[in-house]
Amino acid sequence: MKKLLWLWLALAPARGADLLIGAASDLGPITEKLAPAAAQALGARVRFTLASSGSLAQQIAQAAPFDVFLSANESYITDAVQKGYVDSSTVVVYAYGRIALWSKNGLARSLEDLRKPQIAHVAIANPEHAPYGIAARQALEHRNLWKAVEPKLVYGENVAQALQFAESGNAEAVITSWTLLKGRGILLPQEWHAPVRQTGGVLRSSAQAETARKLLKFLASPEGKKILFEGGLFPP
């Protein structure tokens, strides 16, 4: 398995072990505000691991020491509950996600523009394990563009890597999470894909279950919802 991207955020005086959170990559930019606010609310240091939801699910199956799993897709949490990894009583939909389109050179202003011969490569997160990759594929299918665009697709391990392909010029356009493109991308209609129900839960193996529960409650608090919304997610 590819190495996970670790984001270390020690943002409060230590009062015991750090709270370890396996979080979907679309939350990356949001953690800059979320981590210090959560640390203050919990009175504990918070540490995030960012990766695709599918990759995180595999890590959890291999006994990764997370306290909380924040997936970009409800199905991975449901599966983790069924396998006994996540406490079903803690499961909560903490936000809805959206996808967006961006091209460095401005060639892609709509999905239909992806037909252009000047756009030779289109990056999306791998639909095999990334919920936003699934949403991108569904949007292309909804617009009857999948057959035309599929030969151009390059797959990122997660939404962040897909964006890197476009930023580096290895792809002329990208469809990725709105959280990574807010302020520069084109938000696509939510009706073009199934709802991206971002869902979280506490791992049964957590030695800090009470603190982990508080983290999920914080996400549902007015302050938590505000941070998520400002970062490009939408209230459940």
Residues 29 and 143 in one domain: no
- CA 5 to chain centroid, in Å, comes to 13
Residue 126 lies in a domain: yes
Tens of pLDDT, residue by residue over 118-160, are 999 999 999 998 999 999 999 999 999 999 999 999 999 999 9
Note whether residue 51 is domain-resident.
yes
Whichever domain contains 73, its CATH number is: 3.40.190.10
Q: What digits encode the pLDDT tens for the residues 28-42? A: 999 999 999 999 999
Do 109 and 154 belong to one domain? yes
Residues 172 and 200 in one domain: no
pTM of the complete model: 0.88
Do 66 and 130 lie in one domain? The reply is no
> Are 105 and 82 in a shared domain?
no
Q: What is the pLDDT of residues 179-216, one digit of tens each?
A: 999 999 999 999 999 999 999 999 999 999 999 999 99
The mean pLDDT of 4-32, rounded to a whole number, is: 69
Report whether pLDDT(11) > 70: no
**Looking at the predicted structure, is the pLDDT value of residue 1 above 50?**
no
pLDDT at 4: 40
The answer to whether the Cα torsion of 27, 28, 32, 37 is positive or negative is: positive
The answer as to whether 235 is a domain residue is no
Helix and strand totals (H; E) in the chain: 9, 11
Residue 152 and residue 122 in contact, taking contact as beta carbons nearer than 8 Å: yes
Token pair listed for 103? 């091209």
Same domain, 63 and 18: yes
Q: Are residues 208 and 92 in the same domain?
A: yes
Query: Are 84 and 12 found together in one domain?
Result: yes
Query: Do 157 and 92 lie in a common domain?
Result: no
pLDDT of residue 81: 98
Residues 75 and 16 in one domain: yes
In a domain, 211, yes or no: yes
On whether both 17 and 87 belong to a single domain, the answer is yes
Q: Tens of pLDDT along 34-66?
A: 999 999 999 999 999 999 999 999 999 999 999
| Same domain membership, residue 83 and residue 14 | yes
**Residue 68 pLDDT > 90:** yes
Q: What pLDDT sits at residue 16?
A: 56
Name the domain count of the chain: 2
The arithmetic mean of pLDDT across residues 86-107, rounded, is: 96
Structural domain containing residue 63: 5-97+196-230
Is the Cβ–Cβ distance between 198 and 135 less than 8 Å?
no
Q: Please, is 40 exposed, middle or buried when counting C-beta atoms within 10 Å of its C-beta (0-12, 13-18, 19+)?
A: middle
d(CA 140, CA 151): 13
State residue 33 phi and psi, 5-degree precision. Answer: -100, -35
The pLDDT value recorded for residue 129 is: 86
